Amino acid sequence: MDNRPIGVFDSGLGGLTCVKQLMSVMPNEDIVYFGDTARVPYGNRSRETIVRYTRDDISFLLEHDIKIIIAACGTASSVALPYIDDVGVKVIGVLEPACRAALKRTRNGRIGVIGTASTIKSDKYAQIIASIEPSAKVFSAACPMFVPVVENGYADTEVARIVARDYLAGLKNEGVDTLILGCTHYPLLEGVIGDIMGDGVELISSGREAAEYCRSFLDGHGLLAGRDGKGNSEFYVSDDPESFTQLGGLFLGREIELSVNRAMI
């Protein structure tokens, strides 16, 4: 048993969609969350910059005596994690769990991936899928407008539907039967994306799969919190905590008192 917290980081507040899943699969675990709100978005930045920011995020979490780190950010996971050396604790990205889940669920071997421009440019999802199942076909689409659509409260509106129809048309034409939502924000668009892709297409949330993978890793290594684990969460951001507190409930899927601290990195 290990009651030290799980560290989670993201470029901003989107990683709370992963925290929501962690809280649901492991209610006893303490969580320390860091959102790099001063430097969000990561999704259109260069590899050098994303790697540098990711190193800072990990260093911040390492100051909090965490037992494992989850890179909830699709962009940091795909672009930066391959360049991060051993940091002394396990670092989980969101890619591999999502790829394995997609391969398990696809029936026709045609898998779609959507994410930020940098995530899609990295081609990492396709590489991981090919390394596990070379016969699978991967079709990708960058959806850069999805993040601002969600953050500005347009997730369930005609605006989201127009943008999504355009972004997803190519994947639909390719006949994918499984679609990986490779970005923290996309679970909030699940309804819109599901309607457009149709019933036959299964949506894979990378945050949900990473939370499941984290649970089985901790379990397998005797690192789960004991029954006395309180399930407390601490939230840190690198910019003004107020907007994080306001939007946080949207991403967590419920209204809760978030006590958010300003972190200097």
Catalytic residues: 73, 183
Give the contact letters, 180-199, x = binds to ligand DGL (CB under 6 A), - = no.
Answer: ---xxx--------------
Question: CA 137, CA 108: separation in Å to the nearest integer?
Answer: 9
CB of 81 to ligand DGL, least distance (A): 12
Look at the block and give the residue holding tokens 């958010």. 260
Stretch that binds ligand DGL, among 40-48, 158-166, 196-204, 228-236 (CB under 6 A): 40-48
Q: Enter the tokens of residue 236.
A: 């840190």
92 binds ligand DGL (CB under 6 A): no
CB of 225 to ligand DGL, least distance (A): 26
Among 17, 21, 54, 75, binds ligand DGL (CB under 6 A): 75
CB of 39 to ligand DGL, least distance (A): 9
The count of residues interacting with ligand DGL (CB under 6 A) is: 18
Question: CA 20, CA 261: separation in Å to the nearest integer?
Answer: 19
35 binds ligand DGL (CB under 6 A): no
Strand partners, 114: 141, 181
Among 5, 7, 14, 187, binds ligand DGL (CB under 6 A): 14
116 binds ligand DGL (CB under 6 A): yes
Angle, in degrees to the nearest 10, between helices 206-220 and 95-105: 100
CB of 43 to ligand DGL, least distance (A): 3
CB 132 within 8 A of CB 100: yes
CB of 223 to ligand DGL, least distance (A): 25
54 binds ligand DGL (CB under 6 A): no
Among 16, 23, 58, 73, binds ligand DGL (CB under 6 A): 73
Q: In what order do the strands lie in the sheet with 202-205?
A: 137-142, 110-115, 178-181, 202-205
Question: CA 71, CA 93: separation in Å to the nearest integer?
Answer: 5
CB-count exposure of residue 232 (10 Å: 0-12, 13-18, 19+): exposed
Q: In what order do the strands lie in the sheet with 6-10?
A: 90-92, 68-71, 6-10, 31-35, 233-237, 260-262
Question: CA 186, CA 257: separation in Å to the nearest integer?
Answer: 24
Question: CA 229, CA 215: separation in Å to the nearest integer?
Answer: 14
147 binds ligand DGL (CB under 6 A): yes
* Residue placing its CB nearer to ligand DGL in the complex, 12 or 229: 12
Among 40, 58, 68, 164, binds ligand DGL (CB under 6 A): 40
For the CA atoms of 208, 251, 197, 124, the dihedral, rounded to the nearest 10 degrees, stands at -50
Give the contact letters, 205-244, x = binds to ligand DGL (CB under 6 A), - = no.
Answer: ----------------------------------------
Residue numbers of the site for ligand DGL (CB under 6 A)?
10-12, 14, 40-43, 73-75, 115-116, 119, 147, 183-185
